[in-house]
Amino acid sequence: MDRKRIVILGSTGSVGRQTLDVVRAFPGAFEVVGLCAGNNLDLLKRQVDEFRPRYINSAAELNGHNGAQKLAAEEIASLPEVEMVVCATVGCAGMGPVLAAIDAGKTLALANKEVIVMAGEVLMRRAKDSGATLLPVDSEPSALWQCIEGEQTPPAKFIITASGGAFRGRTWESLHNVTPEEALKHPTWTMGAKITIDSATLMNKAFEVIETRWLFDIPYEQIDVVIHRQSIIHSMVEFADGSVKAQLGPPDMRHPIQYALFYPERQQNADLPKFDPVKTGSLTFESMDTSLYPCFDLALNYAKRGGTWPAALAGADEAAVSLFLDGRIRFTDIPEVVASTLAAHTPIMEHSVEDAIQAAAWATERTYASHSAGAPI
Amino acid sequence: MDRKRIVILGSTGSVGRQTLDVVRAFPGAFEVVGLCAGNNLDLLKRQVDEFRPRYINSAAELNGHNGAQKLAAEEIASLPEVEMVVCATVGCAGMGPVLAAIDAGKTLALANKEVIVMAGEVLMRRAKDSGATLLPVDSEPSALWQCIEGEQTPPAKFIITASGGAFRGRTWESLHNVTPEEALKHPTWTMGAKITIDSATLMNKAFEVIETRWLFDIPYEQIDVVIHRQSIIHSMVEFADGSVKAQLGPPDMRHPIQYALFYPERQQNADLPKFDPVKTGSLTFESMDTSLYPCFDLALNYAKRGGTWPAALAGADEAAVSLFLDGRIRFTDIPEVVASTLAAHTPIMEHSVEDAIQAAAWATERTYASHSAGAPI
C-alpha cells in the first residue's frame, strides 16, 4: 500500500512519542514528512535519525540535521504532500499550525484539546469551509467517535467517563498542601504534566466536555460525565432507543492514536495491551460531585458563554497550572486564580480565531503577572 | 412514512407479546399483516382485535375472527406484501415458516435460536441465494451486531456475556433436587420456560455461541463467553487493534426487538428502561467454569462436528427440558439424557434443512421415548 504521509506536531511530547511508537510498529505504512517539537533537541535529533523527515521545526536551533530542513510549523502542517497532521502539542501555542492544517483542508488527528476549547466553534466552521476533517485522539472523544461509527440516527446522550484524577475520593479542602509531585501521580493514565494537573482539578474533564461539544456538534445538555475509576470504559453513547454503546480498553494512548492514524480501518498491533474482562473483574460508576472540584463548573460556566470566554479560560488555566508546578500558588488556588483572570476579561462575542489567540495570550500573561511576584510559597 | 408490513410468528409467546408492545408504541409505523400462534387462543383473539391482521395461523381452530383469514404459517411468512417476518417461536417446530421466509427473500428478525442451531450453515447459504437478510433479536447477538455496525475491518473476537442463569454460583452436584419452579426463576431476564431452563443449564449460552458462529460467519475459536451477573453488558466485540466495543442496557427484550424492527434507524421509546451507570454501580466479570455446567461443552462439542449433529442436539434438548418440566427427569439428568440420545444418532454430514428437521424430530422422539415410561420422579 502507499505510505500515508504524516506530520507530527509536538513529536517529543507524550502523545508525539506514542504516535511514533505506532508508526514504528507498522513499517511501510507511514512516511513521516515532518516533525515539529519544542526544546527537547536530543530526542528530536534521534527521531530525525530514525524517521528521516524532510522537514523539521524546533524551538531550539536545528537545521539540516540528517538532511531535515527547517521550516515554520505552519508551513509543515500545510505542505501539499501531507495527508494527515497529528497535533500532539499541549496548550494554546499549538493553535497556529492547527489552523494552517485546517485551512489547507488536511485530515487533522487532534490530541491538543486546548485549541478546541479556545476556538472550537470557529475551527469547526473553518474546517467545514476548507474540507478539513478533525479526528479526535483524546481517549474519551475517540471512544465516542468509535461508538457512533455507522449509526444513522444522531446520538441522544454522550456519557464521558472520568477517572477522577490523582485526588479522587478526597475533599477539595484536604488538598491545600498537596505538592506538584503528588498531583502528577495520575492513577490510571501516563500523560504529560499539564494534562495530569488538569485531570487532578477536573479542569481536563471540563475541557473534554467542551471538545466533545464542538467535535461532534452536540449540545452541552446532551453530555454527561460519570466517575469510572478503572479508566477501562473510555466513554459511552446512549442512542434514541435507549441502547448504549461503550468503547473499552486498557488505558493506553496508543489505542486512540492508532485508531485515528488508520481510520476507517483497524490494524492488528501486538504491542498494545488487550482488555481482559475477567482480569479487570469489575467496572464501577459513581456520580461526579462537581461541587467538590470547583474547576469543572467554573470552566463550563464560562465556556457556555461563548465568544472569547473559553479562550481566556484556556489561557488562564495554562498559566495557573504553570504557577502551581513552579511552586508559586497552591493546588487549591488554581480555580480562584483562573476565576480572577476571567473576571477581568473583556470578551469579544463575534470572534475570529485571532481574537481567541489574543484572549488566551492576554489571560496567560495576566495570570502570570498577578502571581509571579514575590517568593515561591 | 409508509408502514412497515410485518408478520409475527409466535405472537402469543414472550418475545411475540413484547414485539407487539413495540408495535403498539409506534402507531402508524407498522402494519401487522399476519399473526401465527400456538394454543393460546384467547390472547390471539385479543391480538387480532387490536392489530387487525389479514391472516392468522393457530394450532387451535380459529378462522375468520374479526376478518382474519387462516393460512398456513409458511404461506403467511412468504406473502409478497410482507417486508419483515419476526420469528418469535421457540424450538425446532419453528423451522418451516423460517425456511419459507428465507426462501422468499424476506428480512427475518430471528429470536428462535433453535432453528439456527439446527441448520445454521444451510440456512445462511439459502439466505444468501434468495437475498434474505437475517437480523438477530436475541439480546447477545443483537449486541454483537450493534457493536460491529459501521466497522470496516472484521472483528477479532466476540465476547458473549452470560448471567450464569438461575443457579450461578452453585455447583452442579448441589442441583440434584432443584424443582422446575426454582429453575424457572431467572435472575435478570423475564423469558419463556424453555429458554429459562436452557439458561440454567447453560445450554442456552452454547446455543448462542452456535447462533453467533452462523449469523456472523465467525469461527468458534473467535467466540468467548464470560460470566456477567448483571446482564447489563449484552455482549462485546474486540477488534483487530485491541479496541473493544460493548452494547449495554437494562435487561429488557424490547430493546433488541425494537432495534431489529427499525434497523438501521433508531427510534425513541419512552416505555423502555434506560441504563443509568451510577444506579447500576458496578459491572462484574468472571470466567465461566464450563466443567461445572456440563451442557455447555457437550453442546459445543457436538455442534462443531457439523452435519445433522446440532439438529439432533436441539431436538434432544427440547425433549429433555420438557421431561424436566413435567417432573420425569431431574435437572441434573438433562445433560446425560441429551448425551444418550446423541450417542445413538446416525448423522448425515452433507445435509439439507429437511435432514436437519428429521434429525431434530428423531432426537426429540427418542428422548421422550427413553424417559416417559413409568411414574414421574
Task: Give pLDDT tens digits for A236-280.
Answer: 999 999 999 999 999 999 999 999 999 999 999 999 999 999 999
Give residues with Cβ within 8 angstroms of A221, minimum separation 6: none
Residue B37 within a domain = yes
Grid cell in block for residue B62: 380459529
Query: In A, which residues are within 8 Å of B150 by CB distance?
Result: 149-151
- Mutation site, B232, B233, B258, B283, interface A, largest A CB count within 10 A: B283
B263 Cα to chain A: minimum distance (Å): 9
Identify from B21, B261, B266, B269 which residue to disrupt to test chain A contact, counting A C-beta atoms within 10 A and taking the largest count.
Answer: B266
- Residue A222 neighbours by CB under 8 Å, 6+ apart: A155, A156, A157, A158
**Taking CA A334 as the corner, what is the angle to CA A227 and CA A87, rounded to the nearest 5 degrees?**
70
The 10s digit of each residue's pLDDT in A44-88 is: 999 999 999 999 999 888 888 899 999 999 999 999 999 999 999
B168 and B300 belong to one structural domain: yes
**Domain C-terminal end among B136, B165, B193:** B136
Q: Kindly list the residues from chain B whose CB atom is less than 8 angstroms away from the CB atom of residue A245.
A: 146-147, 245-248
Is the Cβ pair A151, B266 closer than 8 Å?
yes
Q: Which of B246, B266, B283 sits opposite A240 (nearest CB)?
A: B266
Enumerate the residues of chain B whose CB falls inside 8 A of the CB of residue A233: 246
Go through A116-150 and write b for each residue having 16 or more CB atoms within 10 A of its CB, e for each that does not.
bbbbbbbbbebbeeeebebbbbbbbbbbbbbbbbe
Say how far apart CA A256 and CA A295 lie, in whole Å: 26
- CB-based contacts of A103, cutoff 8 Å, min separation 6: A78, A126, A130, A132
User: For B215-356, where are the E strands, in sequence order?
Assistant: 223-227, 233-238, 244-248, 282-284, 286-287
The percent of residues in chain B predicted with pLDDT above 70, rounded, is 98
Q: Confirm if B33 and B53 have CB atoms less than 8 A apart.
A: yes
Q: Which of A244, A276, A288 would you mutate first to test chain B, the one with the most B CBs within 10 A? A: A244
Name the minimum distance, in Å, from the CA of A148 to any CA of chain B.
9
Please name the member of A242, A243, A266 whose beta carbon is closest to the beta carbon of B239. A266
Residue of A nearest to B142 (CA): A243
Reported confidence tier of residue A131, pLDDT bands at 50, 70, 90: very high
Nearest to B93 by CA among B61, B57, B126: B57
Confidence of residue A233 (pLDDT cuts 50, 70, 90): very high
Interface touch B267/A151, C-beta < 8 Å = no
Looking at residue A88, what is its pLDDT? 97
Q: CA of A36 to nearest chain B CA: how many angstroms apart? A: 27
- pLDDT above 90 (res A41): yes
Do B111 and B174 lie in a common domain?
no
| Rg from Cα positions in chain A | 20
pLDDT average, residue stretch B37-66: 93
Cα–Cα nearest to A129, from A153, A150, A99: A99
Q: Is A241 close to B146, i.e. CB distance below 8 A?
A: no
- What DSSP assignment string belongs to B57-111? EESS---SGGGPEE--HHHHHT-TT--EEEE---SGGGHHHHHHHHHTT-EEEE-
Using CB atoms, pick whichever of A146, A274, A283 lies closest to residue B282. A283
- Weakest mean pLDDT among B161-165, B296-300, B321-325: B161-165
Mark which of B136, B163, B179 sits at the end of a domain. B136
Beta-strand relationship, A133-136 and B244-248: unpaired
Distance CA B64, CA A30 (A): 70
- Asked if A41 and A63 touch (Cβ cutoff 8 Å), the reply is no
B167 shares its domain with B314:
yes
Q: Which amino acid is at A240?
A: A
What is the pLDDT averaged over residues B290-308?
A: 93
Rounded to whole angstroms, the Cα distance separating A151 from B371 reads 51
For residue B336, give how far its alpha carbon lies from the nearest alpha carbon of chain A (Å). Answer: 30
pLDDT in tens, B144-195: 999 999 999 999 999 999 998 888 888 888 999 999 999 898 778 778 889 9
Q: Are B244 and A275 in contact (CB < 8 Å)? A: yes
- Is the same domain home to B204 and B74? no
Q: Tell me the three cell numbers of residue B255.
A: 430493546
Residues in B closer than 8 angstroms to A151, CB to CB, are: 149-150, 266
- Alpha carbon distances (Å) from B242 to A244, B224, B236: 20, 15, 12
Please report, for residues A156, A290, B134, B210, B217, the alpha-carbon distance to residue B222 in angstroms, rounded to integers and kept in the order given: 32, 42, 21, 12, 11
Is the alpha carbon torsion for A318, A323, A325, A326 positive or negative? positive
From chain B, the residues in CB contact with A152 under 8 A are 264-266
Per-residue pLDDT at A229 exceeds 80: yes
Average pLDDT over residues A12-35: 97
Same domain flag for B91 and B169: no
Among candidate residues B190, B208, B196, B206, the one with its CA nearest the CA of residue B167: B196
Q: Is the pLDDT of residue A376 over 80?
A: no
The reply to whether A273 falls in a domain is: no
Query: How high is the pLDDT of residue A93?
Result: 84
User: Cβ separation of A272 and B238 shorter than 8 Å?
Assistant: no
Cα separation of A251 and A237, whole Å?
Answer: 19
Q: What is the CA angle B133-A245-A123, rounded to 5?
A: 110
Per the CB < 8 A criterion, the answer to whether B240 and A266 are in contact is yes
Residue B265 lies in a domain: no
Find the CB nearest A255 among B241, B248, B281: B241
Tell me the average pLDDT across B84-93: 93
- Chain A residues with beta carbon closer than 8 angstroms to that of B149: 149-151
- How far is the C-alpha of B11 from the C-alpha of A337, rounded, in Å? 65
| B299 in the same domain as B203 | yes
B259 contacts on A by Cβ (under 8 Å): 241, 243
d(CA B211, CA B77) in angstroms, rounded, equals 21
Which chain B residue has its CA at the smallest distance from A272's CA?
B242
Asked if the structure places residue A266 within a domain, the reply is no
Instruction: pLDDT band for A374, please (50, 70, 90 cuts).
Output: low
Cα-flanking dihedrals φ and ψ of residue B309, to 5°? -55, -55
Predicted pLDDT at A114: 95
Same domain, B163 and B286: yes
Residue pair A369/A323 in contact by the 8 Å Cβ criterion:
no
Among A269, A283, A290, most B C-beta atoms within 10 A, so best to mutate, is A283
In a domain, residue A210? The reply is yes
| pLDDT tier at A192, thresholds 50, 70, 90 | confident
Beta strands (DSSP E) in A217-364 are 223-227, 233-238, 244-248, 282-284, 286-287
Lowest mean pLDDT among A18-27, A99-108, B45-54, B289-298: B289-298
Contact B118, B96 (CB under 8 A): no
Question: What is the tens place of the pLDDT at every residue in B230-241?
Answer: 999 999 999 999
* B186 compared with A297, residue with greater pLDDT: A297
| Residue linked to cell 439439507 | B352
Domain with residue B124: its CATH number is 3.40.50.720
Residue of A226, A246, A282 with shortest CB distance to B248: A246
Mean model confidence pLDDT for chain A:
95
Say if residue A230's pLDDT is above 90: yes
**Chain B residues close to A287, C-beta within 8 Å:** 278
Which has the higher per-residue pLDDT, A85 or B371? Answer: A85
Determine the Cα–Cα distance for residues B369 and B361; give it in Å rounded to an integer.
12
What is d(CA A234, CA A162) in angstroms, rounded to the nearest whole number? 8
**Is the same domain home to B97 and B13?**
yes
pLDDT at A1: 64
- Chains A, B: CB pairs < 8 Å: 144
Considering only A1-10, A48-57, A107-116, B168-177, which range has the smallest mean pLDDT? B168-177
Calpha distance B322→B337 (Å, rounded): 12
Question: Is the pLDDT reported for residue A352 higher than 80?
Answer: yes
Where is the domain boundary, A97, A113, A136?
A136
Burial class (CB in 10 A: 0-12, 13-18, 19+), A61: exposed
Residues A95 and A67 in one domain: yes
Number of domains in chain B: 2
Confidence of residue B292 (pLDDT cuts 50, 70, 90): confident
Does the CA dihedral B279-B285-B289-B293 come out positive or negative?
positive
Q: Quick check: A285 and B282 CB within 8 A?
A: yes
User: Beta B244-248 vs B133-136: how paired, if at all?
Assistant: unpaired
Asked if B183 and B126 sit in the same domain, the reply is: no
Say which of A243, A265, A275 has its CB closest to residue B247. Answer: A243
Q: Which residues of B are less than 8 Å from A149 in CB distance?
A: 149-151
**DSSP result, A92-140:** GGGHHHHHHHHHTT-EEEE--HHHHHHHHHHHHHHHHHHT-EEEE-SHH
For residue B242, give how far its alpha carbon lies from the nearest alpha carbon of chain A (Å).
Answer: 6
Residues of B whose CB is below 8 A from A146? 243, 245
Measured between its terminal Cα atoms, the distance across chain A in Å is 57
| Mean per-residue pLDDT, B55-84 | 93
Whether the bond into A376 is cis, omega within 30 of 0: no
Whether A210 and A291 share a structural domain: yes
pLDDT, residue B1, reads: 64
Q: Range of A341's domain?
A: 142-250+278-370
My answer on whether B96 and B198 are in the same domain is no
Buried b (16+ CB within 10 A) or exposed e, B57-80: bbeeebeeeeebeebebbebbbbe
Q: Do B226 and A277 touch (CB under 8 A)?
A: yes
Which residue of A159, A245, A269 is in closest CB contact with B242?
A269
Asked whether residue A290 carries a pLDDT value surpassing 90, the answer given is no
Closest CA to A15 of A116, A142, A112, A93: A112
Quick one: how far is CA B184 from the chain centroid? 17
pLDDT of A336 higher than 80: yes
Look at residue A15 and tell me if it is in a domain: yes
Pairing of strands B107-110, B133-136: parallel
pLDDT category of residue B305 using cuts at 50, 70 and 90: very high
Q: Which of B145, B234, B245 to mutate to test the interface with A (most CBs of A within 10 A)?
A: B245
Would you call B226 and A282 a contact, using CB atoms and an 8 Å cutoff? no
The owner of cell 409467546 is B13
- Contact list in B for residue A141 (CB cut-off 8 A) is none
Query: CB count, 10 Å around CB of B109?
Result: 28
Q: Hey, are the CB atoms on B243 and A265 less than 8 Å from each other?
A: no
Question: How many Cα atoms occupy the beta-carbon half-sphere of A121 within 13 Å?
Answer: 16
Total number of residues shown for chain A: 377
| CATH code assigned at B221 | 1.10.1740.10
Residue B376 is assigned to a structural domain of this protein: no
Shortest Cα–Cα distance, B160 to chain A (Å)? 11
Do A240 and B152 make contact, defined as CB atoms within 8 angstroms? no
What are the b/e assignments for B175-211, b being 16+ CB within 10 Å?
Answer: beebeeeebbebbbbebbbbbbbbbbbbbbbbbbbbb
Q: Among A266, A272, A284, pick the best mutation site for testing chain B contact (most B Cβ within 10 A).
A: A266
- Return phi, psi of residue B293, to 5°: -125, 90
Mean pLDDT of the A158-176 span: 91
User: Is 80 exceeded by the pLDDT of residue B110?
Assistant: yes
Task: Return left, alpha or beta for B287; rule: phi > 0 is left, psi -120 to 50 is alpha, else beta.
Answer: beta
Q: Is B37 helix (H, G, I), strand (E, B) or coil?
A: strand
- Contact call for residues A115 and A101 (beta carbons, < 8 A): no
Does a structural domain hold residue B183? yes
Closest CB from B233, B243, B262 relative to A146: B243
Residue B285 to residue A278, Cβ atoms within 8 A: yes
Q: Which residues of B touch A156 (CB under 8 A)?
A: 268
Stretch A77-102: mean pLDDT, rounded?
95
- Interface contact flag, B242 A275, Cβ < 8 Å: yes
Instruction: Taking residues B187-212, report their average pLDDT.
Output: 91
Residues of chain A neighbouring B255 (CB-CB closer than 8 A) = 241-243
Compute CA B63 distance to the chain's CA centroid, rounded to the nearest angstrom.
29
